[in-house]
Structure 1
Amino acid sequence: MKQYSFSFSSDLLEKFKKSLPVNRSKKILKNYLLNEYDLPESLGDLQEFVSDTVIQPYWMTEAEINKLDHLIKQAKTKDCSINRSSIMRDIMKNLVEKYQNSPIQKSEQYRQTFKVPSGTKKRLSLLIEDGELTYELSSFIMEGYIPSNDFPSMRNQEQENLNFRSDIEVFEKLDKISSEYGFKKGGRAKIFRDALSQFESFLQSNPPKKATLKQELKYILDEYKEVEDMKIIKEEISKYLNDK
């Protein structure tokens, strides 16, 4: 399983997250992509320009990526050029329409404060928006996390508190893994810190926050090119960078 990033409209992504519980949303999306989704008859809808985009990472299996690439090839046979994000947006739109008026019953929520190494929250804030951390970390625990077999003690380490509130199923998975390793006292916290450490490493390899800013810069420059000469744009950018 690897991490891939896709662009969505912020409105669509927000509706998706509200309509499906975090502990089941990825499984539902995966099943729909692999077993139900077909390209729409009107492929032109997939080529529509999307404004106010955000970058959303997903943990994808090889089978899921192969299905996306197969659909892209299908579209090319009909002289339609699309990309993976185009398809993912259409899938998400279909799922929102399916569940928005009859949302899946939300899971019970649970909250716990975990001790983590000092500086963790600051590092994470540079990689992902604060409002996205819980959803993305929960998704990672449910779908992408594999224990590292290395659970260092927090003794003699500077610590800080990290408040984590998520679906009860996420905590149940932490407890299940803790039990498999034979942990008794503090096992959930050890597994959580291991998952958090892995999650941070994955974010560092492909920070969603940087990807979002890069995408926003692209759209701004595209609009700027429509009203200004390229030479002047380059001079302005060079001046801005040199001033820094």
Structure 2
Amino acid sequence: MSIQKVAANIDADIYKAIKKKVARNKFSKILRNFIINEYKPSGDLKDNEPTVKQFEVKPISLNDETLAKIDRIVDDHGKGCNRSRVLRDVLRQLSAALESDNKERYKTSEQIVHSSYYFYEGTREKLDQIMNPWERSSKIDYFLKTEYDPGQFVGDDSKIKNAEEIKIDLDILARSRLISVAQENNVSKSEVMRDVVRQLICKDTSKDVKEFKNVLIKYDQILGKEKVQSVVRDFYKSK
């Protein structure tokens, strides 16, 4: 996964405020995680952007995935929208999130624990369908700290056969949460990690279903219900 430094014309005051709130050397990682996992363009992104007192060009470190999302947003909004405008919106939202009651979820640590966990056969393939292999650790780490619900823990109902060993690196904050859940349920860390991945995959599947339904609604308005149904039927008949 490559990292690119993108020059962005941003709101100097908001940028400085965020830098004061996050630990040293954590800004880029927190920003990338926020863009991928939480950011949604504001309704006033293009036409009614809040007033900026002082602009400042800053190099922003983004990976391929965050750049791709930003570029999609720019394309969706058309003329008048650009990367800098999107990044100003991102930083405004991130600044507000860092002031929220749930700001603890943005904590990260440079201390990384390298471990392997055991999963049911086929888990690696399912993960590879929803994320790139090199993003696996960071996405699971982020999900474990921000969205994983221990109250929905589902333990194994049978012994694993033909287990898959998958290497997942966690920072010590995510690792501590994993250990805490394992101790509370009197199970192994691998069993908790299997539940973390189960919830992550379920969440991603639900998101895909919602996006698919939105696409159907869009084409239903354009083509009509009967035409959409015909296209879908023809697709499955041809498979």
TM tier relative to shorter chain = 0.3 to 0.5
Alignment TM-score, normalising by the size of structure 2: 0.47
Alignment TM-score, normalising by the size of structure 1: 0.46
Larger RCO, structure (CA 8 Å, separation 6 or more): 1
